[in-house]
Amino acid sequence: MPAGYSGKYHRLSSLWRGFLYLSFNMMLWRNKHVHFNFSSLTSLVFLVLLPKNGTKWILMLHHGVLESRLPDVLVRYVLRRCDHIVYMNEAQYTSYRLHGVRGSKLVKASSYVRPVPGTPDTVFQQDIESYCAARPTFVASGYPTRWYNLDWCIRFVGQREQYQLALFVYGDGPEKAEIQKQVGRCENVRVYWDQTEDNFNYALSKCFHYLRPNTRDSFGIAVADAVNYGVPVLASDVCPRYQGARTFTLTTYESFENALLDSLNNRGAAVASEAAPVVPFSYDLIQ
């Protein structure tokens, strides 16, 4: 939630409650903008039957995932229903165009909002403070899929007992069992499953270094958050990164290892970034 936001906030317990809530309110919001911020194209199924009733729809896919099991004809139908679509990088722009979206509908902006101080759980706060105080602690995060290369982070730290890793993993995925197996062999790696945003951000603000060796990514909000916390970052260059993050060209584990060793050897040195300044979303962009 952006700092200074003063509007209403409703937390709904299920997708269907959300659908019913929006279906009812669409009847009241004629001529207003409704902003849908989803993680992937699959979420578009939510918009198939939702009535518009004169509202203006804005769509943003903040994870940048543009692959879906939905039929292409269905994806095209929903995208046509949207009045404005926010894209974060050129890969997203190209994908939307291939799905038949007119260029005039597309607006470039970032999904990023600077982190605001939250309140971590007391038990978690004590645990992570104690853990980070023991040794220089890397933080890595993501879903248990091959795109995140979390096993690389485990491997790097597992071979270097002077460091440790706090790994934040969310949800289920094909790599979950393998991650658990690898972590079981490493005394200096600890996994935190499905933590709250406040807990993760607190750990991120306290860590020694944040790692983001993704094979696929759209922006990496945690990368930007870490930079704003003053934490060094190493991230793959598979997408535009927040200014201040150190990037590397991802090819193999060795490319990650060499880049991280170089980053550690030059810790504190200024990071030259070729990334364009982040353009925050504003409703002025769609007027």
| Ranges of each domain in the chain | 15-108, 122-265
For the stretch 155-165, pLDDT in tens is: 999 999 999 99
Look at domain 122-265 and name its CATH class.
Answer: alpha beta
Rounded Cα–Cα distance for residues 46 and 101 (Å):
19
Rounded Cα–Cα distance for residues 239 and 242 (Å):
10
Q: 151 is written with which tokens?
A: 């096993």
pLDDT the model gives residue 141: 97
Rounded Cα–Cα distance for residues 179 and 160 (Å):
18
Q: 132 is written with which tokens?
A: 């980070």
Query: Which residues touch 129 (CB under 8 Å, ≥6 apart)?
Result: 206
For the stretch 4-27, pLDDT in tens is: 566 777 777 777 888 899 899 888
pTM exceeding the 0.85 threshold for the entire prediction: no
Q: What percent of the chain has a predicted confidence (pLDDT) above 70? A: 92
For the stretch 129-157, pLDDT in tens is: 999 999 999 999 999 999 999 999 999 99
Confidence of residue 191 (pLDDT cuts 50, 70, 90): very high
First to last CA, the chain: 23
